[in-house]
Amino acid sequence: MLRNEKFAELGALKTFIAIAESETITQAAERLQFTQSAVSQALKQLEQQLSVTLVVRRSRPTQLTLSGQVLLRYAKSLLNEHQQMTAAVQLASSGGLDHLRLGMIDSFSDVAGQLTLQRLANSARKLSLRTGMMAPLKDALLNRDIDLLITSDQMQQHPELEVHPVLRDPFVLIVANEQLANTDGTIRGITEKLPCISYNRGMRLGSLTQLIARRIGVDQLVRYELDSTSTLLRFVQSGQGWAFVPIMSLLQNPLLVEGVKILPIQPGSHARYIFVIARREELGELPLKLSGICREIFDDQLVPQLIGQAPWLKEAAYSVTDFPPY
């Protein structure tokens, strides 16, 4: 039996979940941005309240007892239901949510983050935006540090999430006009004659561009391998070589596309897709609303910026409502 009538508070359960999903107490504290002693004390109080041992002491990585495993299952369920309840109650009011936390990959946030938040202004009293690389943002969504995520990872392995396709972001080949004059103007001629400037192979964009090269049968004679889009575009613009990039990367830095030729990658169709992802059924119609906002911004304001330079993009870059064919 419990030692008192008050059941574990949600904050204590959230701390316990962080402990269970971390290798050590220290790691859990870093994830929660608490001190190690505060996390240890919260675990001790929870065990005292439930009159059980939840974690095997001195185990590395963290190992739960049978009681701890049972509590973890119920704790996740309770927190999910609490989040759903809070969102449903707040969405039913005229003021909307109290606080909406969005995550966006850099390539989207740099060109559409401000517009997106402005159009969501009536959905919550406070909005916050977290940007960066795909992997940390994915973890932030799974850890409930953000509510909605705009990303190029469909996260198919997580059935607890709802996923809404937003747009098709085609990959293109870019090369400085001055360099293009030294080739026959074809993809094969460019890639055989000039060196490649590539995203770092440890990045998702790097792995995707390597896959494209294999698909069309060209060799990437890599001279520079970079982890910054702006640096990569500067290298191309200055005539150091060619690169494969998604058009969202070009939209991030329009001044760095001046004097650069944008070419379709043929043969084949090569693109990544952007999605809006949320925890299933927690935010009502808000994920759908966000998807619609992103589609409108992409079609009406972003793609037209490049149409003059590459008219064929009108048929390659567009919003979507169906999942990609892969």
Measured distance CA(258)–CA(33) in Å, rounded: 44
Mean local confidence (pLDDT), 5-18: 78
Residue-wise DSSP of 90-138: HHTSTT-EEEEEEEEEHHHHHHHHHHHHHHTGGGEEEEEEEEE-HHHHH
Which residues share a beta bridge with 100? 127
Identify the band that residue 57 occupies on the pLDDT scale cut at 50, 70 and 90: confident
**What residue ranges define each of the domains in the chain, with the CATH number in brackets?**
10-88 (1.10.10.10), 96-168+272-319 (3.40.190.10), 169-271 (3.40.190.10)
Identify the band that residue 98 occupies on the pLDDT scale cut at 50, 70 and 90: confident
Q: Decide: 262 and 176 in contact? Cβ < 8 Å.
A: no
Measured distance CA(168)–CA(184) in Å, rounded: 29
Measured distance CA(237)–CA(267) in Å, rounded: 25
- 3-class secondary-structure state, position 170: strand
Note the pLDDT tens digit of each residue in 125-144: 899 999 998 999 999 998 88
Q: Decide: 160 and 79 in contact? Cβ < 8 Å.
A: no
Note the pLDDT tens digit of each residue in 153-182: 999 899 889 999 999 999 999 999 999 988
Structure tokens at 259: 């004097």
Among the ranges given (2-11, 138-147, 213-222), the one the predictor scored with the smallest mean pLDDT: 2-11
Cβ burial of 131 (10 Å; 0-12, 13-18, 19+) is: middle
Give pLDDT, residue 2.
Answer: 41
Measured distance CA(230)–CA(183) in Å, rounded: 25
Q: Decide: 51 and 57 in contact? Cβ < 8 Å.
A: no
Give pLDDT, residue 78.
Answer: 84
90 vs 282, more confident: 282
Averaged confidence pLDDT in the chain: 90
Mean local confidence (pLDDT), 221-247: 95
Mean local confidence (pLDDT), 211-228: 93
Mean local confidence (pLDDT), 109-134: 93
Give pLDDT, residue 92.
Answer: 54
Identify the band that residue 88 occupies on the pLDDT scale cut at 50, 70 and 90: low
Q: Does 246 have pLDDT greater than 70?
A: yes
| Cβ-count burial 10-22 (b if 16+ within 10 Å, e if not) | eebbbbbbbbbeb
Least Cα distance to 167 among 274, 46, 303 occurs for: 274
Measured distance CA(113)–CA(298) in Å, rounded: 11
